[in-house]
Structure 1
Amino acid sequence: MFAKNPAPARRLGASVDALSRQDRVLSRMRLVDKFAILGLSASLALIGCTSQGLNQQSTSMPTSNSSMAQGMVTNAPLETATASQTVPVYWLGSSNDDVFLYREFFPAQTSDDPIVAALRVMMGGDSLDPDYFSIWNNPTRLGASISAKNVITVDISADAFGGKVDQGIAERSISQLVYTATAAAAMAGLVDTTSSIQVSVLVDGHTGYNAFSHVVLDKPLTRDADFIAPVWIIDPANGSRFNSLPLKVAGQAISPTGNLAWSLAHVVGDTVGEQYLSGTVTIPQGPRELGEFSFNLVPPPGEYQLSVYIQDTGAPGGKIGLDTKLVTIAEPSAK
């Protein structure tokens, strides 16, 4: 992806076939569309998509999915409570031939409760990373409540459902709402994160709405682990500028081998140029386990594209689950 915590809440029915599905996906990893990988990894997509500027790429999914990354994650961890005055927002983002969910943090700038504040950014704001997008419209009415049974109810007006999209993007957009609402509630300490959290979506006060003409909202929803990004750079944020080193890189990922590859390439204007550094990093949780990774870099001043991905050993140069961030290393501040 051009460009990403943790009481598990598994999607309904996931426990029945999670392991067998994961094995099937991993066994197909050599079948990744190599032309799509190479084309994506050579680009620097600096223009994002919003509900006011939809294009074909942001409104539709491939007719068939050949990405080994899809389906690797079988556990959708919740965020933990924090005292920071920020709200978590999930966005859609492309990686290889699939679309996954990635999270960013925004300052809490309104008096709304945390769930409403996060959803307002998701539906009416812009992502920090221009490679992320959302197909929601800013609703005229939005409210949220939490029951004693750990059910979040979100009530939105019908004008939140924007342009025409296919079923794949519709399902991911509803999941985007579920992830954002549950993340905001968990971080604010409003829900019991030791048990499953459900989200009931009402439209103009009623259940059963056919969202984006593809998803009927007739029952409570939980996080769908299929939509978690397989590789996700959490820090640094896209566009970050640093006056001191080291550059600390951290993220979340899953890999068949428990290892990831990274690279740092020079950026000149809008063009990704020569690779300056590269290496590997281990996910401490091991192979096939979603976990956190981190490493430090000490590059000279300049503009860079940071990339983290799963190496496709069956295709030299192939990058699976690619996530990228643009960063600037400034000259050290004079003392």
Structure 2
Amino acid sequence: MESAGAPEPVRQQQVQNTPSSNAPLETTQASSKVPVYWIGRNGDGVALHREFRDNAGTENPITTALRTMMTAKPLDHDFFTPWQEPSALATSISGKNVVTVDVSRDAFNSNLDSGMAQLAVQQLVYTATAAAASSGLIDSGQQIQVVILVDGHKDFMAFGQVKLGEPMVRDASMVAPVWIIDPQEDLTLAGGRVKFNGRATLEGAKLKWQLFREAANGEKALYVDGETTASSVPGQGGTFTFTVNLGAGRYELRVSLPEQAGEAGSSDTRSFNVG
């Protein structure tokens, strides 16, 4: 597991009850996968990114996703988690779309500053709500709240910085402005027309993409580039997709959201193979 200390600073901000409409929920997915959020490099800072991981099927999807978040290694080498393996973890859902997470205090055994601690708490909130929504356990048309208990009690200070116990919702400011969804890191794809999917938090945003091909010596050269536009259709949450015809080789995709409207630019990268 990577060091809890992140190499980039994160802006210090309060965990707010941001309306869930500003941070769209996942749609129902195949039960063989669970969504997991990680903290990852994004421009000059860090933000939340998502991967879909195998569902072992031994626990409910929310518990499985959170346990993966706290114990597994991200597929993408730019991602990490400050959480530690808990000795106890349980989740439940009330009829009011409230997910309750009860975790042991050993999960917080990392030394984090205030900004990183708040981002880590939101990592849990995003993962729990994503797993609940994608598995169809809750009504994704309503706002979902998460209550975090520690050893069954409220008022615990997460990482010594963030007070827990009250309902929390997704803070849209903490998710990466742009990220690549498919393909996942190091996946091997069939040659021919390869489809790429991703998401930008700014609907209708103009995005630039570049595909680099890696030579045998590890050097990367620009292979092809282009532009795409994030969807502005309500409910699609700024999704984007494009296809490229690729032959065998190893590639790196880079998708960038240029600086605009006073907002800093952002980019995400993903390495993959074509067989």
TM-score (norm 1): 0.73
Give the alignment partner of residue 25 of structure 2, picking from 54, 62, 78.
78
Q: CA deviation at 1:272?
A: 4.7
Give deviations 1:205-259, integer Å, cap 9, x for gaps: 1000000111000311101101121111000111011223211101101458721
Taking only the aligned residue pairs, the percentage that are identical comes to 40
Distance in structure 2 (CA, Å) of the matches to 1:97 and 1:76: 22
- Within the candidate set 284, 289, 293, 2:240 is matched to 293
Q: Does 1:217 align with 2:164?
A: yes
Q: Which residue of 1 aligns with 2:6?
A: 57
8 Å contact from structure 1 (residues 242, 328) kept in 2 = yes
* Aligned twin of 1:125: 72
Does 200-209 or 274-283 show the bigger shift? Answer: 274-283
Deviations 1:42-67 (A, max 9, x none): xxxxxxxx3xx316435x625689xx
Cα shift readout 1:108-128 (whole Å, capped 9, x = no counterpart): 114111111111100011111
CA 1:140–1:270 in structure 2 vs 1: closer, same or farther (change >3 Å)? Answer: farther
Alpha-carbon distance between aligned partners in 2 of 1:64 and 1:171, rounded to the nearest angstrom: 8
Is the Cα–Cα contact under 8 Å of residues 255 and 310 in structure 1 kept in the other structure? no
Distance 1:322 1:162, change over 3 A: same
CA distance in 1, matches of 2:129, 2:25: 7
Aligned to 1:324: 269
Q: Which residue number in structure 2 is paired with residue 182 of structure 1?
A: 129
Distance 2:231 2:244 in 1: 19
Residues paired across the two proteins, number: 266
- After superposition, the Cα gap between the structure-2 partners of 1:190 and 1:303, relative to the gap in structure 1 and judged at 3 Å, is same
Residue deviations 1:65-120 (CA, integer Å, cap 9, x gap): 9xxxxx9x971011122343211111111111221111111111141111111111
Q: CA deviation at 1:193?
A: 1.6
Q: How does 1:228-307 map to 2 (within 5 A)?
A: 228-255=175-202, 258-268=205-215, 271-285=218-232, 290-307=237-254
Instruction: Provide the residue aligned with 1:7 in structure 2.
Output: none
1:278 is displaced (CA, Å) by 0.8
Bigger helix share: 1
Do the aligned residues in 2 keep the contact of 1:265 with 1:306 (CA within 8 Å)? yes
In structure 2, the CA distance between the partners of 1:145 and 1:56, relative to structure 1 (3 Å rule), is closer
Q: Distance in 2 between matches of 1:320 and 1:200?
A: 33
CA contact (8 A) 2:25 2:129 kept: yes
Residue identity matched to 1:321: S
Q: Quote the residue 1:163 is aligned against.
A: 110
Instruction: Label 1:256 to 1:106 Cα distance change in 2 as closer, same or farther (>3 A).
Output: closer
- In 2 relative to 1, CA 64–91 (structure 1 residues): closer, same or farther, beyond 3 Å? closer
Could you say which structure has the larger radius of gyration? 1
Separation of aligned partners in 1, 2:150 and 2:247? 52
Distance 2:35 2:10 in 1: 28
Q: SS where residue 26 of structure 2 aligns?
A: coil
In structure 2, relative to structure 1, the CA distance for the partners of 1:141 and 1:235 (3 Å cut) is: same
Q: Structure 1 pair 146/281, CA: closer, same or farther in 2 (3 Å)?
A: same
* Selected match of 1:112 from 59, 67, 77: 59
Shift of 1:328: 1.1
| CA RMSD, Structure 1 to Structure 2 (Å) | 2.5
> Quick check: 1:93–1:100 contact (8 Å CA) kept in 2?
yes
Alpha-carbon distance, 1:283 to partner: 1.8
Matched letter for residue 80 of structure 1? T
Residue type of the partner of 1:140?
S
| CA deviation vs aligned residue, 1:130-170 (integer Å, no higher than 9, x gap) | 11110000100000111122111100000000221111111
Supply the distance in 2 between the matched residues of 1:270 and 1:89 (Cα, whole angstroms): 33
Any gaps of 5 or more consecutive residues in structure 2?
A: none
Contact 1:118 1:180 in 2 (8 A): yes
| 1:110/1:256 CA distance change after superposition, 3 Å | closer
Question: How far has the Cα of 1:281 moved from its partner?
Answer: 0.7
SS at match of 1:298: strand
**CA separation in 1, counterparts of 2:137 and 2:221?**
47
Cα distance between partner residues in 2 of 1:297 and 1:97: 29
Q: Where does residue 93 of structure 1 map in the other structure?
A: 40
For residues 64 and 83 of structure 1, the distance between their equivalents in structure 2, rounded to whole angstroms, comes to 36
Instruction: Give TM-score scaled by structure 2 length.
Output: 0.89
Q: Taking structure 1 as reference, are residues 270 and 205 closer, same or farther at Cα in structure 2, changes over 3 Å only?
A: farther
Paired AA for residue 106 in structure 1: R
CA distance in 2, matches of 1:89, 1:256: 23
Aligned to 1:198: 145
Verify the 8 A CA contact 1:61 1:166 in the aligned structure 2.
Answer: no
Residue in 2 aligned with 1:137? 84
**2:100 & 2:167 partners in 1: Cα distance?**
9
Alignment CA distance shift 1:74-1:99 (3 Å): farther
Residues 254 and 268 of structure 2 are in contact (CA less than 8 Å); yes or no, is this contact kept in structure 1? yes
